[in-house]
């Protein structure tokens, strides 16, 4: 199955980002720590260009810690500042503010040399849908100023938010890209919740997730569901659904409920800390 989602508001959002980039000093790019590569919008590099950037790996509490460290090393080696953040607990945000202020000081010194009045450091928050941009802003602002939700597409317009740290932040809508060249990228975006659930096939997602976990996290499914892993993904979904009692009228196994349950528990971290993007 092909996974694609590029509604009209994303086209407008991309234009909005381009038009407002000149107003900011740096960009905070949020990536999902479970899929640091797949959640990177390839259009962002072209749009942002040489603008100072800090990458934030959000949802790090759901990702494999060892693999998150590998990704931080990867970005650092490529001269990109990278910080893992837990937006629920606020872990990592002090480091983000420190790096932002450091970049802001450099910008302000340059402005003063040109005779410009000192002003707050301005940051643009970028990322795919449902990666935590508005939650980040609320944490940094220490108040609820940006609308949040557990579904993609909550933020539809830009928002400027001031903080008490001499910082101003611009929230932007989550933006995907028109076509996923790699089918697995689409799957990873869908299974982590970046694509609207209403347009995806949960059974297909469940099969792919089961296969990935069997290959890369052997024993994890068995630990959670008590079902041996020496069977195919479709067979495993049947066994899982039966084990959980997902039955329709006539004692027919409800594969859809089983698939939805599996994906939901993955998203909630009930299967364990899992990273889908692996460095070779």
Helices 255-267 & 233-244 angle (0-180, nearest 10): 90
Q: Is 91 annotated as a binding residue?
A: no
| Distance (Å, whole) CA 123 – CA 159 | 11
Integer-rounded Cα radius of gyration of the chain: 21
Q: Is 130 annotated as a binding residue?
A: yes
Q: Is 133 annotated as a binding residue?
A: yes
- Reported in sequence order, the residue ranges of 41-131 that DSSP labels E, i.e. its strands, are 53-58, 81-84, 121-127
Which long-range contacts (C-beta less than 8 Å, at least 24 apart) are formed by 101-110? Answer: 101/165, 101/166, 101/167, 103/25, 103/26, 103/52, 103/54, 104/25, 104/26, 104/166, 104/167, 107/25, 107/26
Return the SS3 of 69. helix
Strand-pairing partners, residue 169, are 123, 161
User: What pairing do the DSSP bridges indicate for beta strands 159-162 and 167-171?
Assistant: antiparallel
Q: Are 223 and 213 in contact (CB under 8 A)?
A: no
Helices 183-191 & 202-216 angle (0-180, nearest 10): 100
**Longest distance between any two alpha carbons in the chain, whole Å:** 79
Q: Is 134 annotated as a binding residue?
A: yes
| Distance (Å, whole) CA 206 – CA 262 | 7
Contacts of 55 (CB under 8 A, 6+ apart): 29, 31, 75, 80, 81, 82, 83
Q: Is 227 annotated as a binding residue?
A: no
Q: Is 135 annotated as a binding residue?
A: yes
Binding residues: 130-135, 174
- Which residues fall in the annotated binding site for GTP? 130-135, 174
């Amino acid at each position: 199955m092909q996974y694609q989602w590029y509604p009209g508001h994303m086209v407008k959002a991309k234009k909005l980002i381009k038009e407002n980039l000149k107003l900011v000093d740096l960009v905070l790019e949020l990536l999902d720590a479970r899929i640091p590569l797949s959640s990177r919008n390839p259009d962002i590099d072209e749009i942002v260009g040489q603008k100072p950037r800090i990458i934030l790996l959000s949802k790090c509490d759901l990702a494999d810690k060892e693999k998150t460290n590998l990704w931080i090393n990867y970005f650092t080696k490529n001269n990109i500042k990278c910080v893992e953040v837990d937006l629920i607990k606020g872990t990592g945000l002090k480091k983000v503010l420190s790096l932002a202020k450091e970049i802001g000081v450099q910008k302000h010194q340059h402005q003063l040399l040109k005779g410009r009045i000192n002003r707050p450091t301005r940051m643009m928050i970028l990322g795919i849908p449902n990666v935590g941009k508005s939650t980040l802003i609320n944490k940094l602002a220490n108040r609820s100023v940006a609308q949040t939700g557990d579904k993609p597409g909550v933020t539809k317009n830009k928002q400027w938010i001031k903080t008490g740290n001499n910082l101003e932040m611009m929230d932007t809508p989550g933006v995907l890209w028109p076509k996923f060249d790699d089918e697995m990228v689409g799957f990873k975006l869908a299974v982590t919740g970046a694509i609207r659930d209403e347009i995806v096939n949960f059974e297909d997602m469940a099969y792919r997730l089961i296969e990935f976990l069997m290959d890369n996290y052997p024993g994890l499914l068995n630990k959670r569901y008590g079902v041996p892993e020496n069977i195919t993904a479709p067979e495993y979904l049947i066994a899982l659904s039966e084990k959980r009692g997902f039955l329709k009228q006539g004692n027919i196994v409800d594969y859809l409920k089983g698939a939805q349950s599996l994906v939901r528990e993955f998203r909630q971290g009930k299967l364990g800390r899992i990273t889908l993007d692996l460095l070779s």
